[in-house]
Chain A
Amino acid sequence: MPNHLPVTKTTLDNGLTVILKEMHHAPVASFMIWYRVGSRNEVPGITGISHWVEHMMFKGTPAFPGDQLDRMISREGGHWNAFTWLDFTAYYETMPSNRIDLALRLEADRMRNTQMPPDEVESERTVILSERGMYENDPRFNLNEELTSAAFRVHPYHHEVIGDEADLRSMTREDLLGHYGRYYVPNNAIAVIVGDFATAEMLARINTLFGEIAAGEAAPPITRQEPSQKGERRVTLHGPADASYLTHAYKAPAASHPDYFALTLLNAAFAGGSSLGMFGGGGTNKSSRLYKALVDTDLAAAAFGGLGPTVDPYLYAINAVARNGRSLAEMEAALDAEMARLQSDPITQAELDKALKRAKAEFVLAGESITGQAQLLGMAEAVIGDYRWFETVLDKLNAVTLDDLERVRQTYLQKANRTVGWYEPSNNGMTA
């Protein structure tokens, strides 16, 4: 079964981490490059720069001109994209396996040779402002942005990955080139390849293409850690909407912390959704305590909880949308009561077992696709520094006890440790 196929990990002389996993069920391969840089590595004035650099990586190099790049990948039947998150920026190409060499050559080249012509920087500025405009059209983005900035006063998780509009208007090409030059070096990167190839041959090819790239200076450490929270924080937004939104966001441990898995399972037992502690997945949550308390009672139209793996402590968030005619105050009271019930009526072994069985199913489904495997291995390596974090996730989840669940509840799910966000419509009109 794909999750148990062997993985090879090695480090090239220039510091590039390489992870290879053969999967031969389809003539497909997926190649990824992960850079350990994201919004976490940004300071005021250049917020959003990691994401902007990601956009500029599609503008080409002398060997792979921007107007040809897309064509080259697409006509080989490949699809490619990239994503920027708090802790990383990742690029991938999934292609028929006999064409994957193009992806290797392209990524090796654009690690150092991206040009960022001035007119392309300017045209991308408006594209990114338009992307931000698209997010701002969604009340949930606006609520999340305000809430996160209230939760993190010091740590750079304070700002959104897309960046603040003021910085997107003022950043320069020199800023972008500086960020690129500093972080896009082999010793700050991870190459992951999964699919239909032979490991020894593929590793030799990666060494040929990437081995000659000079190592750079180590990335500067993040020194601005968030002090512990001393009391509940609240933010209230008013804006265009016809529905009201509530978020309770508790400070949560980093993915490398032993408590991370217990909190993941506590969430899975309480709120349903993902049991794995990766990104997304998990399916419906209609049999969860949270759903029964908020949605079955006619208070909320939807309610879900989740946390994701991060390098530094981030947030465990519970989100709910109020039903038409219901107030945020009643919904919040019901949520608090249900949280309190976790103490008086703790999670049972049956509930924990259910969460564990879901983790198993999710793990199998997550491992089914070649692109999915590459993403999970790369994410584990980029965030925790060890791809085996993903491979052994079920063992770590299975080791969690009911006492662990109670301990993490007491440690993390306290009011003093949370930020509450309310989004209320400024208009009362129904326009549908």
Chain B
Amino acid sequence: MPDLTYPGPENIHRHVLPNGITILVYENFAAESVVIDGTLHAGALAESEGKAGLASFTASLLMRGTQQRSFGQIYEALESVGAGLDFSSGRHVTEFVAHCLVEDLDLVLELLSDSLRHPTFPAVQVELMRGEILTGLQIRANDTRRMAGLAFRELLYPHHPYGRSTQGYVETIPAITAEDMMQYHGRYFGPRDMIVGIVGAVKANEAIAKIEAALGDWQNPQQQTMTAVADVRRPTETRRIHVPMPDKSQSDILLGLPGPLRAAPDYLDAKMMNTILGVFGMMGRIGLNVREKQGLAYYAYSQLQGGLGPSPWFASAGVSPENVEQAIRSILDEVARIQDEPVSEEELADSQAYITGSMPVGLETNSGLVNVITDMEFYGLGLDYLQHYPDIIRAITPQRVQAAAQKYLSIEQIAIAVAGPESVISNQ
């Protein structure tokens, strides 16, 4: 039975503008605030290897000068009313999030529209941002967790855009010019397929009218379809790398494989498998084994991202250098166990109850609501998806969980990256 207490077609107002923007509004008058969340199909997949970081660099320049406003004017306006607006880029999309008091919604929509449509990439701001990004990359170079993540991606997706950092590298950031950004912006930023979700103390027809006034006349005849993601091949053996970081107190481990697409028919089976393996309670079976039973780590968990492309399934732990091998063995033991033995009915029921029971908590705030509502649109799940979701989750069986573990996990054909002091022998 669909659960009609959740947002659905009855109360999510959906409106498509003639220029292709889909607007979703959900009214919530609990507080006098509004959040906005949106996506457009522009991301790092459009970058060349030599200009890695272009999409992210561009997103960071959108609010640093437009045809009508300087960087200083944009932030003065925004910060004067305690509002927030931020753009960030992933591999497939550029996302924006905004929050403000409802009395300042017009201002925020105006700044959103201006930043999206009329950025000028001023030379001074490009150089300032370049410096900030380069300093950020140097900080990354000293962060075991992020360096393990970088090495893991390179190992898992060789010669594939998924193997590159969306933040770029010290070798690529200096090569990116304002001209590159203008070209990329001109090609991929446009209203077609854009989604704008808005949740808060504003009536649906008013919200739609305001968004239409801000973005309804946007046209970009040159807008191109985002580059499709190439297939990835799973590793055929264990690939392993150690990133030496000799002066660190702790090592970070990341191991995993390419995971299912969000659109895969067995995506939720895989998600359930991962919940049991590395999420439920204090980080699932992996947390129980590595942290609770052996006391090896402060954090140990696994994650499944899903998405438009083959984002990874991975397990992660931060441990003392001398415990690296034991932690890896323990994680792989848990991977083998969930592949070899069906999970018990009871364990599955626990995770099913967790996923369905935690929905009201996740939907309590405007930002929680807007994320879920825009996701339903983005992945084409249907606006009644949330109402059917508890039934879909409850229909998953131990056999389906085991099948997903056998299909998506492996203990032998896997990428393993470690960053930290060299007390382990790299068998790379």
Taking Cβ atoms with an 8 Å cutoff, the residues of A that contact B are 1-2, 23, 25-28, 58, 67, 70-71, 73-79, 94-96, 99, 122-134, 136-139, 239-243, 272, 275, 283-288, 295-296, 298, 301-302, 321-324, 354, 357-362, 364-365, 367-371, 426-427, 430-432
Residue numbers in B under 8 Å from A287 (CB-CB): 72, 75-76, 78-80
- Say whether B18 faces chain A, with CB atoms less than 8 Å apart: no
Q: How far does the Cβ of A77 sit from chain B's closest Cβ, in whole Å?
A: 2
Residue numbers in A under 8 Å from B135 (CB-CB): 243, 301, 321-324
Interchain CB contact under 8 A, B80 and A99: no
Q: Which of A132, A286, A362 has the most CB of B within 10 A?
A: A286
Interchain CB contact under 8 A, B318 and A358: no
Q: A75-B353, A301-B131, A365-B33 are in contact. Are A286 and B361 (CB under 8 A)?
A: no
Interchain CB contact under 8 A, A77 and B353: yes
Contact mask B232-248 → A, CB, 8 Å, 1/0? 00000000000001111
Docked Cα-Cα span, A251 to B139, in Å, equals 29
Interchain CB contact under 8 A, A370 and B138: no
Docked Cα-Cα span, A283 to B84, in Å, equals 6
Residue numbers in B under 8 Å from A370 (CB-CB): 364
Interchain CB contact under 8 A, A360 and B101: yes
Q: Can you report 24 A-B residue pairs in the complex whose CB atoms are below 8 A from each other?
A: A23-B30, A26-B30, A27-B360, A28-B364, A77-B354, A77-B357, A77-B359, A96-B357, A131-B298, A139-B142, A241-B142, A242-B138, A272-B79, A275-B82, A287-B76, A354-B79, A357-B82, A361-B104, A365-B33, A368-B31, A370-B364, A430-B138, A432-B141, A432-B170
Nearest 4 CB-CB pairings of A with B? A77-B357, A361-B82, A123-B295, A70-B281
Docked Cα-Cα span, A286 to B31, in Å, equals 27
Q: A28-B361, A361-B100, A364-B101 are in contact. List 6 more A-B contacts (CB 8 A).
A: A1-B31, A25-B30, A58-B282, A71-B350, A240-B142, A358-B80
Q: A1-B32, A137-B248, A286-B75 are in contact. Are A77 and B360 (CB under 8 A)?
A: yes
Interchain CB contact under 8 A, B361 and A75: no
- Say whether B291 faces chain A, with CB atoms less than 8 Å apart: yes
Residue numbers in A under 8 Å from B288 (CB-CB): 67
Docked Cα-Cα span, A95 to B359, in Å, equals 10
Docked Cα-Cα span, A245 to B83, in Å, equals 29
The chain A residue with its CB closest to the CB of B368 is: A369
Interchain CB contact under 8 A, A368 and B33: yes
Interchain CB contact under 8 A, B139 and A137: no
A361 touches which of B83, B134, B139 (Cβ 8 Å): B83
Residue numbers in B under 8 Å from A272 (CB-CB): 79
Q: A75-B350, A76-B357, A284-B79 are in contact. Are A298 and B141 (CB under 8 A)?
A: no
Q: How far does the Cβ of B357 sit from chain A's closest Cβ, in whole Å?
A: 2
Residue numbers in B under 8 Å from A138 (CB-CB): 143
B99 touches which of A285, A323, A365 (Cβ 8 Å): A365
B361 touches which of A78, A132, A362 (Cβ 8 Å): A78
Q: Which of B5, B82, B83, B354 has the most CB of A within 10 A?
A: B82
Taking Cβ atoms with an 8 Å cutoff, the residues of B that contact A are 5, 28, 30-33, 71-72, 75-76, 78-84, 86, 99-101, 104, 127-128, 131-132, 134-144, 169-170, 245-250, 280-282, 288, 291-299, 318-320, 349-351, 353-354, 356-361, 363-366
| Interface of chain A: mostly helix, strand, loop or mixed | mixed
Residue numbers in A under 8 Å from B353 (CB-CB): 74-77
Docked Cα-Cα span, A134 to B30, in Å, equals 39
Q: How far does the Cβ of B332 sit from chain A's closest Cβ, in whole Å?
A: 20
Docked Cα-Cα span, A427 to B246, in Å, equals 11
Docked Cα-Cα span, A134 to B39, in Å, equals 34
Residue numbers in B under 8 Å from A301 (CB-CB): 131-132, 135-136
Q: How far does the Cβ of B194 sit from chain A's closest Cβ, in whole Å?
A: 24
A133 touches which of B139, B140, B249, B361 (Cβ 8 Å): B249
Interchain CB contact under 8 A, A126 and B296: yes
Residue numbers in A under 8 Å from B143 (CB-CB): 137-138
Q: How far does the Cβ of A178 sit from chain B's closest Cβ, in whole Å?
A: 22
The chain B residue with its CB closest to the CB of A70 is: B281
Residue numbers in B under 8 Å from A79 (CB-CB): 358, 361
Residue numbers in A under 8 Å from B364 (CB-CB): 25-26, 28, 369-371
Docked Cα-Cα span, A347 to B292, in Å, equals 52
Q: How far does the Cβ of B113 sit from chain A's closest Cβ, in whole Å?
A: 19
Docked Cα-Cα span, A25 to B281, in Å, equals 27
Docked Cα-Cα span, A147 to B413, in Å, equals 47
Docked Cα-Cα span, A321 to B281, in Å, equals 37
Residue numbers in B under 8 Å from A58 (CB-CB): 282
Q: How far does the Cβ of B396 sit from chain A's closest Cβ, in whole Å?
A: 15
Interchain CB contact under 8 A, B31 and A367: yes
Interchain CB contact under 8 A, B297 and A130: yes
